[in-house]
Amino acid sequence: MKDFNKYVIKFARFLQSLLVIAIGLLGVLLIILLFRDLIPLFQLLLSPSIKESNSAIMDEIIVFFLFFEFTAMIISALRHHGHTSINFLMGLSVTALIRSLITAHGDVWEIVATSVSILMLIIAMVIFNKHMKNM
């Protein structure tokens, strides 16, 4: 039975190594996409009809920051051997909702719902941090 447990532990380490390699490759791909996304952003910024392309510029900036946040999440996962903390993920969620709130120009109820979601996430982060310090 001890030999079987040794093989299971070795296999688990092998799978975790493969996971870290896959996450690293995904990080490299996201960095490439991040820089590739800068080209259309600069083209829109230099276009003569910038007033018509304001929403397109905002869309490109949002996509850029999505790549940036996913890359930050992958870096965090690589630093922690394939794991990401819940606190980090909640912080990313708050950031994404704030960005959504900044670009929202439509329905008032959508803006209120996004604001309430941000508030709930911040309250959850405070409660989580308070109880994690006690453990």
Rounded to whole angstroms, the Cα distance separating 128 from 87 reads 8
pLDDT at 123 > cutoff 90: yes
* Model-wide pTM > 0.85: no
pLDDT digits (tens, 9 = 90+) for 27-65: 899 899 888 888 877 777 777 776 666 777 777 788 788
What local confidence, expressed as pLDDT, does residue 53 receive? 66
Closest CA to 87 of 38, 31, 130: 130
What local confidence, expressed as pLDDT, does residue 96 receive? 85
pLDDT at 120 > cutoff 90: yes
Q: How far is CA 16 from the centre of its chain?
A: 21
Confidence of residue 134 (pLDDT cuts 50, 70, 90): low
- CA distances, 131 to each of 88, 114, 120, 124, 135 (Å): 16, 26, 16, 11, 7
What local confidence, expressed as pLDDT, does residue 37 receive? 83
Mean pLDDT confidence for 5-13: 90
pLDDT at 103 > cutoff 70: yes
pLDDT at 87 > cutoff 60: yes
